[in-house]
Every structure is written in structure tokens, then in C-alpha cells.
Amino acid sequence: MELKHREFVAKKMAIVDEVADKFKKAKFFILTDYRGEQEGLNVKDFNNLRKKLRENKAEYKVVKNTLTLLAAKKAGINNLENYLKEPTAITFAFEDPILIAKAMFDFAKEKKTSKNERGLPLIKVAYLDGALIDAAKVKELAYLPSKFELLSKVARGIQAPLANLVNVLQANLRNLVYALEEIRKQKVNLNN
């Protein structure tokens, strides 16, 4: 009996270590309610959400609340107690937080039902840059341009003045070539 208890504890501690490691590596994480008030995500929807998040370098994982709390504390994250009351799934974002927030809100928008008007999963709280942020802030984050979109805008902003400079310099060179051609024609006419 004692051996089975030790194995059980060892398995639970391995889960705590794994989740604590994910908390440390994630740039952003979201705690969600995947059940809602009346009906939760079915297995197909749950797997579709996981797939969508994996495509954006994120992971969606269900972990018991007590283990999540232990892992969070081990990772140095506090104040999650109030958000770990009902069954919870965690989204760990290892890349662009904006893409993950968008993916979560887009998925929830698709999963609105008459019984669940907000869609699933419901965002309880998120963690970004060392601070907890509420669902409203996560929604604001979801509507920001992604890192790639911002970099594209910066590149276009830099490219436009350079293109204008090249055009100005080419115009001066063209004018010089036209002027030299006119001088050449005049000299040819004088020699004839």
C-alpha cells in the first residue's frame, strides 16, 4: 500500500514539475473555463482548439487546480487561488501572445450557443509580463496587430523614405545624363 501511495505522489509531483516548467517557459498564459455554465466543449472541439493553438506555438492543457496552484507557486507566480475554483484549462503561449489571444477569442466566437452566449472557453485570467490581466485586457490584446504585422508596418515605414530617396537620386542622374547628351549634340553640331 505504501509503495502505491509513493508512486501516486511521485506522478503528481512530476505533473507539478512539468507544469511549473511550462509556466516558466511561457511568455503568456491564460486560465480558462472550458465547461461553461451549462455545456462544455466536446472532445472534438477541445481537440480542434488544441490543434489551432499548437499551430501558433501554444499548448492547451487541463490540470487539476491543486496541482496548478502548486506548480504556479513553484514557478514564482502568486495570486491564482481565486481563479482555480472550477475545472480549469491552461493555455501556455511560447511565442506571440497576441496570436494566442486572437486564437482563443476567435474560437470562442465560433462556439457561441443559445446556452452559452459568450462562447467557450471562457477566459478567467491571464498572466503577461509578471502581472495578472483580466479577460477584458486579454480581449484588447487580441485586437492588437500581431508581432509580424507590426514588423511589416515598420519595414514599410522604413522602405518608403528609402524608395523616395532612390527616386530623387535617380532623377538627378537622369538630368545629368540628359545635360551631357545635349552638350555632346551641340559639340557634334559645331564640328559639322
pLDDT one-digit tens code per residue, 130-148: 889 998 898 888 887 777 7
CB atoms within 10 A of CB 106: 13
For residues 114 and 150, membership in a common domain is answered with: no
Same domain, 74 and 132: yes
Residues 78, 115, single domain; the answer is yes
Distance CA 112, CA 108 (A): 7
Q: Verify that 77 and 171 share a domain, yes or no.
A: no
Among the listed ranges 43-47, 89-93, 165-169, 173-177, which one has the minimum average pLDDT value?
165-169
Assess whether 125 and 176 both reside in one domain. no
Same domain, 80 and 115: yes
Provide, rounded to the nearest whole percent, the portion of the chain with pLDDT above 90: 35
> Per-residue pLDDT for 23 more than 90?
yes
Encode pLDDT of 92-128 as tens digits.
999 888 889 999 888 888 877 656 666 778 889 999 9
Q: What is the pTM of this model?
A: 0.72
Looking at the fold, whether 177 and 163 belong to one and the same domain comes out as: yes
Residues 74 and 16 in one domain: yes
User: Which residue, 144, 164, 182, sits at the end of a domain?
Assistant: 144
Same domain, 10 and 99: yes
Under 8 Å between Cβ of 38 and 113? no
Report the percent of the chain where pLDDT is more than 70: 86
Residue 148 amino acid letter = F
* Number of domains the chain is built from: 2
Residues 33 and 52 in one domain: yes
Identify whether residues 120 and 179 lie together within a single domain.
Answer: no
Give the domain extent around 155: 146-192
What is the Cα Rg of the chain in Å?
29
pLDDT of 157 higher than 80: no
- Say whether both 124 and 165 belong to one domain: no
Answer for the pair 109, 101: CB distance below 8 angstroms, yes or no. Answer: no
